[in-house]
């Protein structure tokens, strides 16, 4: 059975002792979160992040994160991906 959830201050969701920030408030997203948020497949997002000069990729060591605002803007601008 899942632990009860509560909305904390500033929109954070708490489950037990864990506090999660809603996706729409995060600065960066994992590839999985970006896929869920945009309804674009994980493989497609990973391919997009590998493109030279991708405007929404952020490298943290070898890990790739998606800059949420830049990703949203990119999707708004593009007709096809």
Task: Record the pTM.
Answer: 0.76
Who contacts 3 (Cβ-Cβ below 8 Å, separation ≥6)?
15, 16
Q: According to the model, what pLDDT value does residue 67 have?
A: 98
Q: Is the pLDDT of residue 17 over 80?
A: no
pLDDT at 16 over 70: no
- For residue 21, the 8-state DSSP code is -
pLDDT at position 6: 52
Q: What would the pLDDT profile of 25-67 be if each residue is shown by its tens digit? A: 999 999 999 999 999 999 999 999 999 999 999 999 999 999 9
Alpha-carbon gap, residue 54 to 57, rounded angstroms: 6
pLDDT of amino acid 10: 60
Fold observed for domain 23-77: Molybdopterin biosynthesis moea protein, domain 2 (3.90.105)
Distance CA 49, CA 41 (A): 12
> In 10 A of CB 27, how many CB atoms?
11
CA distance 2 to 78: 39
């Amino acid at each position: 059975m899942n632990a009860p959830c509560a909305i904390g201050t500033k929109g954070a969701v708490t489950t037990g002792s864990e506090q999660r920030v809603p996706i729409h408030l995060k600065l960066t997203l994992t590839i999985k979160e970006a896929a869920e948020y945009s309804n674009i497949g994980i493989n497609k997002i990973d391919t997009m992040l590998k493109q030279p000069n991708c405007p929404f990729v952020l490298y943290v060591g070898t890990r790739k994160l998606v800059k949420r605002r830049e990703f949203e803007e990119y999707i708004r601008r593009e007709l096809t991906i």
